[in-house]
Amino acid sequence: MHATIERDVRTFLDENFMLDADPTALSNDASLTRHGVLDSMGVLELIAYLEQRFDITIPDEDTLPENLDSIARIVQYVAQRSNGQAS
């Protein structure tokens, strides 16, 4: 499941935000905000995408960098929410 989440998130980021020519070059642990991939509006778009694509709800209190600021953190968070676990 983690590989599917990662692939889908990378595809979404590549199609909707400015990534380098090779979207796989962005490491899983790289900060999406510090690397200029996401700004505050981008985070909102990402949340809307994750909720729709993975049929999860992301409560406001979970919209933290610890959950959403890197591909690795997004994958882990989405996997936990998909399994019914809160962060």
Instruction: Tell me the CA distances in angstroms from 35 to 4, 18, 29, 42, 70, one per residue in order.
Output: 23, 10, 11, 13, 10
Domain contains 7:
yes
pLDDT tens string 25-36? 789 999 999 988
Segments forming the whole domain that contains residue 73: 2-82
Q: 1 or 80: which carries more pLDDT confidence?
A: 80
Domain contains 87:
no
Q: Please report, for the domain that includes residue 24, its CATH number.
A: 1.10.1200.10
Helices (H) and strands (E) in the chain, counts: 4, 0
pLDDT tens string 64-85? 999 999 999 999 999 999 987 6
Question: Which pTM value belongs to this model?
Answer: 0.88
Domain contains 52:
yes
Give the CA angle between residues 54, 59, 64 to the nearest 5°.
95
